[in-house]
């Protein structure tokens, strides 16, 4: 038997040559053709057994162009053509691999729909931040200040009024404080929200007592159940943090 002449194989896992419907084959072939490009110089080679294996034959004059296009899609920015084929496979519960004649995987298609980037969004609202003052100073009535939040993030804010800034300067490198004002929150493409700016209108000192000190105080309050617990901190974490 004459060996098949082909350059690329779309190996679809989760279906088979016998169970693949004609409509499904057409959908796969169309997306496979879009992936390879060079439509006039890429042809159907065969449909082989072993799940469903669609072979494509590329004219000699187009092989370099197809190779370069696939390399760009694989190594460059996310490709709509890859996503289109991958999402189709995922909608069917399949996955796939684009292979070359040597059996090497050129592109893998896990089948799960690729997560679309979140739309960047900005929200302005009255809010509060807690953090340590690590820098403050400026020439204008609106004074720049930097806070270090408990989770280690640095937030640049602006204090409205020199009198308020003078009071805040007394807390430089001291205990955490709570600032209140008009905040700008931004959601990035990963869906993470961060405070990108804030106009500070007021502030207040935070209670520096530890959780241990707090429960020791509660133990001395009459008619409460905390004093009966051997480890009230663990019980508090179970109740309010969901660590069951």
Q: What is the DSSP letter of 3?
A: P
80-92 vs 22-36: helix crossing angle, rounded to 10: 160
Query: Helices in the chain by DSSP H: which ranges?
Result: 22-36, 63-75, 80-92, 162-169, 211-219, 232-241
Residue 234 reports pLDDT greater than 70: no
Per residue in 86-104, pLDDT tens?
A: 999 999 999 999 999 888 9
Per residue in 106-119, pLDDT tens?
A: 999 998 765 666 67
Per residue in 116-144, pLDDT tens?
A: 666 778 999 999 999 999 999 988 899 99
Map out the domains of the chain with their CATH numbers.
Answer: 8-109 (3.30.70), 121-205 (2.40.50.140), 211-241 (no CATH)
Beta bridge partners, 146, equal 135, 156
In whole angstroms, what is the distance from residue 105 CA to residue 122 CA? 41
Beta bridge partners, 97, equal 11, 108
How many CA atoms within 13 Å lie on the side-chain side of 197? 8
Q: What is the DSSP string of 51-106?
A: TEEEEEEE-GGGHHHHHHHHHHHHHSSPPHHHHHHHHHHHHHT-EEEEEETTS-EE
């Amino acid at each position: 038997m004459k060996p098949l002449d082909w350059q690329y194989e779309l190996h679809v896992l989760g279906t088979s040559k016998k169970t693949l419907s004609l409509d499904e084959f057409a959908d796969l072939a169309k997306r496979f053709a879009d992936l390879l490009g060079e439509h006039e110089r890429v042809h159907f080679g065969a449909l082989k057994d072993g799940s469903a294996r669609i072979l494509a034959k590329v004219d000699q004059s187009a092989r370099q162009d197809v190779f370069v296009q696939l390399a760009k899609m694989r190594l460059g920015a996310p490709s709509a053509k890859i996503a289109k084929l991958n999402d189709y496979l995922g909608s069917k519960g399949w996955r796939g691999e684009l292979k070359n004649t040597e059996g090497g995987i050129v592109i893998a298609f896990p089948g799960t729909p690729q997560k679309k980037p979140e739309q960047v969004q900005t929200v302005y609202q009255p809010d509060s931040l807690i953090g340590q003052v690590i820098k403050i100073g400026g020439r204008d009535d609106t004074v720049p200040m930097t806070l270090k939040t408990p989770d280690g993030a640095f937030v640049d804010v602006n204090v409205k009024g020199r009198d308020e800034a003078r009071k805040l300067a007394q807390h430089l490198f001291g205990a955490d404080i709570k600032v209140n004002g008009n905040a700008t929150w931004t959601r990035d493409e990963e869906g993470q929200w961060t405070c990108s700016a804030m106009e500070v209108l007021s502030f207040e000192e935070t209670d520096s007592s530890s959780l241990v000190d707090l429960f020791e105080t509660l133990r001395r309050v009459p008619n409460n159940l905390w004093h009966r617990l051997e480890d009230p901190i663990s019980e508090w974490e179970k109740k309010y943090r969901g660590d069951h």
